[in-house]
Structure 1
Amino acid sequence: MMKKKMIAVGLVVLMLLTVLSACSGGSASDHKLDPAFNEDTLKQEAEKVIDEWNNQDFDAMAAETADNVRDKLTADVLKDAWNQAMPKLGEFSSVKQTEIAPNGKSALVVAVAEYENGKAQFTIGFDQNMKIDNFFIK
């Protein structure tokens, strides 16, 4: 069990580093969203992923991951992360805010979701095929 927890923590750190490295360097005007992406579609897909997360449909989430993270974002890893992060937040209320940022040839959607006992911030990365290539929650 401890090994799984370390893997989940390591995964979260790895994803955080990915997000931080994507956000550093240059001004925002230097980085534009790849034209392959549609902002409305990105928001809809992010909300779908958040719904799957809230419904603990980890198999569906894992099936939507990009090849380069498929072995890291397994249903088991997602379930472990959910068990660590979510029980104290209570029932899901709604997604209150969504922002989109470029991440190289990928796109990041940062969404703040309201829950009965607090908020969670999701950072979900999508590749150009709309597969999840990054998932972080805090």
Structure 2
Amino acid sequence: MKKTVLLFISIFIIFALVACTGDSDKELSEDTAEEAKNEEMSEQENPQSEKIIGIADSFIEDIATGEYEAAGEHFDDTMKEELTPDALEDLWRTLQDQVGTYIDHEYSSTQEADGYQVVLLDGLFESSDVVFQVTFDDNQKIAGFFIH
């Protein structure tokens, strides 16, 4: 909720600043808005991005519903060795001990880093919010999982 209010305030301030500037700034802001729109559209149209977003969403759902074996099916070989279903269960329980009961999550963004695709999901918990970072390799397998 706080993030949403801050986002709306930020957008309002940006629009107010744009309205007060000259035509050259208006042209620049239109270019920036168009670039952002094109980036968002290309992300939405990219079937690979859609697939990994869906996998990341399913992965978090599987964990949240106690389906740790199913969640691990999305892992690459290294992750399967490092984060077993039992370890994943322990991780989830520890997380909920720290931030409260899981409520929901939603997609935030997709980024590229060092040849990997990284999907960020905002996690909503009873006491605090977190960011789930799910990293994918070229084979669309989960090669990393971090909670911030």
TM-score by length of 1: 0.65
Structure label with greater radius of gyration: 2
Q: Is 2:74 the counterpart of 1:64?
A: yes
Partner residue in 1 for 2:108: 98
TM-score by length of 2: 0.61
Unaligned runs of 5+ in 2: 1-42
How many residue pairs match? The answer is: 103
Q: Which of 127, 131, 135 is equivalent to 2:137?
A: 127
User: Equivalences for 1:16-35 in 2 at 5 Å?
Assistant: none
2:6 is matched with which residue? none
Asked if the contact 1:93–1:116 (Cα under 8 Å) also holds between the matched residues in 2, the reply is no
Counterpart-to-counterpart distance in 1, 2:121 and 2:90: 21
User: What one-letter code is carried by the residue in structure 2 that aligns with 1:50?
Assistant: I
Alpha-carbon separation, structure 2, partners of 1:64 and 1:90: 24
Within 2, Cα distance between the matches of 1:116 and 1:68? Answer: 32
In structure 2, the CA distance between the partners of 1:85 and 1:91, relative to structure 1 (3 Å rule), is closer
Q: Which amino acid aligns with 1:55?
A: T
1:79 counterpart residue number: 89
Whole-Å Cα distance in 2 between the matches of residues 113 and 98 of structure 1? 10
The one-letter code matched in structure 1 to 2:130 is A
Range moving further from structure 2, 114-123 or 58-67: 114-123
Aligned to 1:43: 53
Kept in 2, the 8 Å contact 1:125–1:132? The answer is yes
> Does the CA-based 8 Å contact 1:54-1:92 persist in structure 2?
no
- 1:86 aligned partner, one-letter code: Q
Which structure has more relative contact order (CA 8 Å, sep 6+)? It is: 1
CA, structure 1 residues 75+129, in 2 after alignment: closer, same or farther (shift >3 Å)?
A: same
SS of aligned partner of 1:84: helix
RMSD of aligned residue pairs (Cα, Å): 2.2
Greater helix share, structure number = 2
CA–CA distance in structure 2, aligned partners of residues 56 and 135 of structure 1: 17
Deviation at 1:37, TM superposition (A): 6.8
